[in-house]
Structure 1
Amino acid sequence: MAHVSIRDVRKSFGTVSIIKGVDVDVQDGEFVILVGPSGCGKSTLLRMIAGLEDITGGDIRIGSRVVNDVPPKDRDIAMVFQSYALYPHMTVAENMAFSLRLKGVPQAEQKRRVADAAASLGLTTLLDRYPRQLSGGQRQRVAMGRAIVRDPQVFLFDEPLSNLDAKLRVQMRAEIKELHQRLKTTTIYVTHDQIEAMTMADKIVVMHDGIVEQIGAPLDLYDRPANRFVAGFIGSPAMNFIEGRLEQGGLALPSGAILPLEAPPAAALGSRLTYGIRPEHLHVEPSGIPGSIPATVAVIEPTGADTTLIVKAEGGNLTVMLRDRCTLRPGEAVALRPVAHQAHLFDEQGRRIAMV
């Protein structure tokens, strides 16, 4: 295991800047997820850690070594790719042992490591099969096993679950997390799926347009997003945003309705701000309740345990998450009551404003 330090790392392709001075620290044994929309630079950053992309500027350290110019094979890392990348003419055991064979590891040691990894991943009965005889989840386990047998200092995962169906993704998320808890190997994992990031990571790095927007524990990012981008990206369904002007009682909408705030910042009174409220913090009341937001139900999405409503209200469509069964119908008038102490405020630059 090893600490990974990324300092002012930059990457350009010609005149196009992809990574714009990123700083990240990954502690020994930590599970860190790089998350962000497509094109934000997260996979490029992972490939630079692996040595598959050259660095335009900055330093990457693995343990005590600066590895900017160290070949991938000498970095003591193991990478699991999105596409599995298994050799079709080799059995599961041969695929898992391949890197060890290239290193000249004695055959007895190869067999021991493969057997240990196979047992931990539930592959023991599949060692004699070929990749074509495996399901997608089994192939992904083989790719993980191939990484585990190397006993690296750092695991790198590049969107390993994106080719799996929804049910299998949930299962593999739990298996990868349990595996990390057992092996305690430093892990850097890339995904665009913020649910994966929230459920698996010790620490999340949110990237956007080649920069780091915020770093923190999953629930810290959820409860205290640094800016509007993080607030809208972390959480599913996404946070609602409503524009208005800050007054003493809360954020005033053009209609005169007031969105409540527990402690409006006095220094921002009179400013045009954005009010953020998560779907689960909007309560649905009968229409006509004083202090509520009039709305009309547009779409109802029942999922069993929860029901998601999309409603039309002043300022646009809003999403509401109900924790019980819903008897409402499209077109029905309702009133929305935000939970004041769960509301967020963002300034015109998108930065979160601390409440008093």
Structure 2
Amino acid sequence: MSGVSIQNVEKVFGAVRVIHGINVEIEDGAFVVLVGPSGCGKSTLLRLIAGLEDVTGGSIRIGGQEVNDMAPKDRDIAMVFQNYGLYPHMTVAQNMGFALKLAGVDKAEIASRVNNAAGILNLDVLLDRYPRQLSGGQRQRVAMGRAIVRNPQVFLFDEPLSNLDAKLRVQMRAEIKQLHQRLKVTTVYVTHDQIEAMTMADVIVVMHDGVVKQAGAPLELYDKPMNLFVAGFIGSPAMNFLDATMTAGALVLADGQRLDAPAGAALTEGQAVRIGIRPEDLTVADTGLQVQVSLVEPTGAEILIGARLGDTPFTVVLRERHNLTPNQTITVAPNAGRVHLFDPRTEIRIN
């Protein structure tokens, strides 16, 4: 068993509490992504798992064993950082096998493990090169290979793709996911990029201000965000939000426009609600919400429309072709089954 159990974990730096009693259970072999904006505590939590920071309160277990007071080298984990951390005077093979050399592993075993990892990562022909002779993607593969040769219980990735260009990030995230599917080692991956989280994770843990706002499968968070923060963070472009009041069976906006309340919604007459509508769940229609177009961005497969509904910014993503121009008023209708409702006071989802 190589699961990771995080129980009531807290972290305080001086007088500042950055992790507030977090509970996360990571199953053996799972690929879990910690995601959230800068300063949310995700990298701090990863460093607590790695032993690079001391836990203020609570317990962290790896493979069933508490590791709070255990040195990083004794936790049987391997960590990959965003800056690669390669030794410039060593070849690829030497970089990959250096930790094993320090641990006293014999040369034949080191060579076997390095060659095996190089085969997995397509580094076979690069073993005699130095880091300066490699591209960014190749350097990141070497950093991953250095982790693989250790045969750890848990892989930890701290924003490993941040220094790569957009095209290479897409390629590398696919390679990391395929690597996990092949090795089936428990993996905890930190990123601020929710697209990375959606495409790579078995489970996403969304963090904000040192707390977990929601944890679940990617499509669970996308389809049923439990609060306004998760609703606004997961999905690109971000979800539209509109304030309304339940009036005579309809959701009435401040400018008087109306939407039918979702079937079965637990609302009472006069109740204030915040409506959430994803841009991709809207279509041009004869009836619905009137918005004024301010920007049209065709991407090829889609048309991204920046608009305004009264004083509120409003985004629409259309997959069908429309000849739209700035300042034009259009009517868009949401998919009735895809409208999200939230309590504006508690920010919690209304079922």
Matched ranges for 1:64-79 at <5 A: 64-79=64-79
CA contact (8 A) 2:197 2:204 kept: yes
Shift of 1:254: 2.5
Q: Which residue of structure 2 aligns with residue 31 of structure 1?
A: 31
Whether 2:350 is the aligned partner of 1:353: answer: yes
Looking at structure 1, the residues matched to 198 and 248 of structure 2 have their Cα atoms a distance apart, in angstroms, of: 35
Taking structure 1 as reference, are residues 243 and 264 closer, same or farther at Cα in structure 2, changes over 3 Å only? farther
Give the letter aligned to residue 2 of structure 2: A
CA contact (8 A) 1:11 1:20 kept: yes
Whether 2:322 is the aligned partner of 1:331: answer: no
Shift of 1:267: 4.2
Shift of 1:269: 2.8
Q: Which residue of structure 2 aligns with residue 99 of structure 1?
A: 99
Shift of 1:272: 1.2
Looking at structure 2, the residues matched to 268 and 22 of structure 1 have their Cα atoms a distance apart, in angstroms, of: 35
Give the letter aligned to residue 81 of structure 2: F
**Structure 1 unaligned blocks of 5 or more:** none
Shift of 1:319: 0.6
Looking at structure 2, the residues matched to 4 and 225 of structure 1 have their Cα atoms a distance apart, in angstroms, of: 25
Which portions of structure 1, spanning 4 or more consecutive aligned residues, are displaced by more than 6 angstroms? none
Shift of 1:301: 1.4
**Structure 2 unaligned blocks of 5 or more:** none
Whether 2:301 is the aligned partner of 1:305: answer: yes
Q: Which residue of structure 2 aligns with residue 342 of structure 1?
A: 338
Looking at structure 2, the residues matched to 340 and 53 of structure 1 have their Cα atoms a distance apart, in angstroms, of: 48
Judge which range, 326-335 or 338-347, deviates more. 326-335
Note the alpha carbon deviations across 1:151-198, whole angstroms, 9 max, x for none: 000000000001000000000010000000000000000000000000
CA contact (8 A) 1:100 1:150 kept: yes
Q: Which residue of structure 2 aligns with residue 271 of structure 1?
A: 271
Give the letter aligned to residue 327 of structure 2: G
What secondary structure does 2:330 align onto?
A: strand
Looking at structure 2, the residues matched to 263 and 300 of structure 1 have their Cα atoms a distance apart, in angstroms, of: 33
TM-score (norm 2): 0.98
Whether 2:135 is the aligned partner of 1:135: answer: yes
Shift of 1:337: 1.0
Q: Which residue of structure 2 aligns with residue 294 of structure 1?
A: 290
Shift of 1:340: 1.5
Looking at structure 2, the residues matched to 187 and 333 of structure 1 have their Cα atoms a distance apart, in angstroms, of: 48
Q: Which residue of structure 1 aligns with residue 314 of structure 2?
A: 318
Looking at structure 1, the residues matched to 143 and 30 of structure 2 have their Cα atoms a distance apart, in angstroms, of: 21
Q: Which residue of structure 2 aligns with residue 230 of structure 1?
A: 230
Judge which range, 160-169 or 307-316, deviates more. 307-316
Looking at structure 2, the residues matched to 183 and 266 of structure 1 have their Cα atoms a distance apart, in angstroms, of: 46
Shift of 1:293: 1.4
Q: Which residue of structure 2 aligns with residue 62 of structure 1?
A: 62
Looking at structure 1, the residues matched to 319 and 57 of structure 2 have their Cα atoms a distance apart, in angstroms, of: 49
Taking structure 1 as reference, are residues 266 and 206 closer, same or farther at Cα in structure 2, changes over 3 Å only? closer
TM-score (norm 1): 0.96
Shift of 1:324: 2.9
Q: Which residue of structure 2 aligns with residue 185 of structure 1?
A: 185
CA contact (8 A) 2:85 2:143 kept: yes
Looking at structure 2, the residues matched to 227 and 84 of structure 1 have their Cα atoms a distance apart, in angstroms, of: 36
Matched ranges for 1:26-175 at <5 A: 26-175=26-175
Looking at structure 2, the residues matched to 8 and 253 of structure 1 have their Cα atoms a distance apart, in angstroms, of: 41
Judge which range, 36-45 or 344-353, deviates more. 344-353
Shift of 1:38: 0.2
Judge which range, 66-75 or 312-321, deviates more. 312-321
Whether 2:240 is the aligned partner of 1:246: answer: no
Task: State the number of aligned residues.
Answer: 350
Looking at structure 2, the residues matched to 201 and 60 of structure 1 have their Cα atoms a distance apart, in angstroms, of: 21
What secondary structure does 1:252 align onto?
A: strand
Looking at structure 1, the residues matched to 52 and 167 of structure 2 have their Cα atoms a distance apart, in angstroms, of: 32
CA contact (8 A) 1:155 1:187 kept: yes
Judge which range, 66-75 or 322-331, deviates more. 322-331
Looking at structure 1, the residues matched to 321 and 132 of structure 2 have their Cα atoms a distance apart, in angstroms, of: 44
Looking at structure 1, the residues matched to 317 and 283 of structure 2 have their Cα atoms a distance apart, in angstroms, of: 8
Shift of 1:250: 2.7
Looking at structure 2, the residues matched to 29 and 342 of structure 1 have their Cα atoms a distance apart, in angstroms, of: 33
